[in-house]
Homo-oligomer: A and B are copies of this chain.
Amino acid sequence: MYRDRVRLPSLLDKVMTADQAAALIQDGMTVGMSGFTRAGEAKAVPEALARLAKKHPLKISLMTGASLGNDLDKQLTEAGVLARRMPFQVDSTLRKAINAGEVMFIDQHLSETVEQLRNHQLKLPDIAVIEATAITEQGHIVPTTSVGNSASFAIFAKQVIVEINLAHHTNLEGLHDIYIPTYRPTRTPIPLTKVDDRIGSTAIPIPPEKIVAIVVNNQPDSPSTVLPPDDETQAIADHLIAFFKREVDAGRMAKNLAPLQAGIGSIANAVMCGLIESPFEDLTMYSEVLQDSTFDLIDAGKLRFASGSSITLSTRRNADVFDHLERYKDKLVLRPQEISNHPEVVRRLGIIGINTALEFDIYGNVNSTHVGGTKMMNGIGGSGDFARNAHLAIFVTKSIAKGGNISSVVPMVSHVDHTEHDVDILVTEQGLADLRGLAPRERAKVIIENCVHPSYREALTQYFEKACAHGGHTPHILRDALSWHINLEERGHMLAAS
């Protein structure tokens, strides 16, 4: 069956086992693998690599699009394969190794990794491992459920291993739009002015002689772990939709809003689901990952077109989307993450960017990555690519966590990923803070009034008032600024008496 998918016959003699292909990866190599938001990752070769490394230890620097599914980061970590990892991950075993200083993790804006490779500021991959639906008559690679950084990895690497995955339908071909910016100093504008523009090719164009191995596999993507909306995420969606209505009524947005971006995860997915019952029509998405909500919105006749870099679905939606892709195919495109997240395009289109915060402070600085200012959660992902240049940079979170021991709104964030310059709107289940055009002291009042859980409101008001008495454009009491985090670490509750 795989023979139909390798349409350049001269490549058929490159078919080998995963173990044989994995043996091409040697100690000290930099390896670029497909995979973005647990979609479309090469599966058999990294698994084989983990097996091999248990017998013959080796270390590599691994770069991907974003997170991998099928517990691959776990397997590779446990086998001791990962010396360095970039630009994103979501695996709990790898996270532990990162926080123990055992794996060097480089947390990057997702649009920037291949730009830095192109300029030789990062070491180019020696070898790329790319999951494919098919190889064309020209020897070009048709990706599967994600594009991520696969195209540039394959272009930059000296050698390419292709995993033909029979678990993916051949109907994926035609979904992708591969556009690679030209080299500086003669780079030209990215010719994309509408979410549904197609500006590239449907396969990754590389010289077929770079393909040194083809591995046949039949293992599906991991299902999305997104949770259904709950009362809090529904309340967040309701606040945001009410805000969108006010923006439309005030003439600041069109009735079909602006192209929507939603970060991965349950809260952003719930917000998008909330749009099904909204009055908005003819919506579009220009996002990274297309989740269940994207297809629910299309089915509801609300969403006209969705551009992303990957499709990550729950078990509930997986079969009926991919078994009936013809229903959706003219409404979808998958792009390299450099393009789905490109600041040039984000600013041009005027995206509404909706991303999840771990915590934010009374002045609107957002921490997306570090628990207690030290421990990496997942990484900044694409949130910075979108927030900086968005028409509206929106961050959402529940106001409390760990049964109320943690307030997501704090005096000073313990780590900053997005500065107050880049944050327009904050939403919790308590309400929405519109920070546009406000100075820090004004921001604090709006945030405390609208976003903070009642059990923390008085303490935060007290902090702010004490800080204002002390003075400054952004008033703080440095001795107290991180005390909530210290309380949590030492006593288990942010307001524990010291």
Q: Are B121 and A437 in contact (CB under 8 A)?
A: yes
Shortest Cβ distance from A186 into B: residue: B193
Q: Which residue of B lies closest to A482 (CB)?
A: B478
A84 to B439, CA, bound (A): 9
Decide if A380 is an interface residue (CB 8 Å cutoff). yes
Q: In the assembled complex, which residues on chain B have CB atoms less than 8 Å from the CB atom of A120?
A: 250-252
In chain A, residues 167-192, which have Cβ atoms closer than 8 Å to a Cβ of chain B? 184-191
Given A184-B350, A185-B254, A251-B120, the answer on whether A107 and B421 have CB atoms closer than 8 Å is yes
Q: Which residues of B contact A470 (CB under 8 A)?
A: 374
Checking B101, B107, B121, B416 against A436 with a beta-carbon cut-off of 8 angstroms, the contacting residue is B121
Give the nearest-CB partner of A439 in chain B: B104
Q: Are B388 and A343 in contact (CB under 8 A)?
A: yes
A310-365 interface (Cβ within 8 A of B) = 342-344, 347-350, 365
Distance (whole angstroms) from the CB of A412 to the closest CB of chain B: 8
Of B116, B415, B417, B419, which is within 8 A of A437 by CB? B116
Q: Is A437 within 8 A of B374, CB to CB?
A: no
A436 contacts across to B, CB distance below 8 A? 116, 121-122
User: CB-defined interface of A410-429 with B at 8 Å, one 1/0 digit per residue?
Assistant: 00101111111100100000
* Complex Cα gap A398–B282 (Å): 54
Q: Is A441 an interface position by the 8 A CB rule?
A: yes
CA distance A439 to B97 in the complex (A): 13
Instruction: Tell me the bound Cα distance from A486 to B468 in angstroms.
Output: 17
Interface string of A97-141 (1 = CB under 8 A from B): 011110011111100100110011111000000000000000000
Q: Does A370 contact B (CB under 8 A)?
A: yes
Contacts of A105 in B (CB 8 A): 439, 473
Task: Give the nearest-CB partner of A250 in chain B.
Answer: B120
B99, B251, B437, B473: the one contacting A471 at CB < 8 Å is B99
Query: Is A479 an interface position by the 8 A CB rule?
Result: yes
Interface centre among A105, A188, A417, A419, by most chain B C-beta atoms within 10 angstroms, is A419
Contact B119 A474 (CB under 8 A): no
| Interface SS of chain A | loop
User: What B residues does A479 contact at CB under 8 A?
Assistant: 486
A375 touches which one: B107, B119, B193, B473 (CB < 8 A)?
B473
Residues of A in contact with B, size category: 35 or more
User: Given A104-B441, A348-B344, are A486 and B478 also a contact pair (CB < 8 Å)?
Assistant: yes
Minimum CB–CB distance from A94 to chain B (whole Å) comes to 11
The answer to whether A100 touches B471 (Cβ under 8 A) is: yes
A489 within 8 A of B: yes
CB distance from A356 to the nearest CB of B (A): 17
Contact A474-B104, Cβ < 8 Å, known A185-B258, A416-B365, A482-B482: no
Q: Judging by beta carbons under 8 Å apart, are A373 and B417 in contact?
A: no
A403, CB-defined interface residue at 8 Å: no
In Å, the complex CA distance between A190 and B482 comes to: 43
Q: Which of B122, B123, B343 contacts A347 (CB 8 A)?
A: B343
A 459-492 binary contact with B (CB < 8 Å = 1; else 0): 0000000011011111110110110011001000
* Bound CA–CA A186/B348 (angstroms): 9
Contact with B along A354-395 (1 / 0, CB 8 A): 000000000001000010111110001000100011010000
Residues of B within 8 A of A471 (CB): 99-101, 374-375
Q: Are A437 and B122 in contact (CB under 8 A)?
A: yes
Are B414 and A416 in touch, CB under 8 angstroms?
A: no
Q: What are 27 A-B interface contacts by the 8 Å CB criterion?
A: A84-B439, A100-B471, A101-B441, A106-B439, A107-B421, A108-B421, A119-B391, A120-B250, A120-B251, A121-B424, A121-B437, A185-B194, A186-B193, A189-B189, A189-B193, A343-B344, A343-B347, A344-B344, A365-B416, A370-B474, A372-B472, A373-B474, A374-B476, A380-B419, A418-B419, A419-B419, A478-B486
Interface residues, chain A, with chain B CB atoms under 8 Å away: 84, 98-101, 104-109, 112, 115-116, 119-123, 184-191, 193-194, 250-252, 254, 258, 342-344, 347-350, 365, 370, 372-376, 380, 384, 388-389, 391, 412, 414-421, 424, 436-439, 441-442, 467-468, 470-476, 478-479, 481-482, 485-486, 489
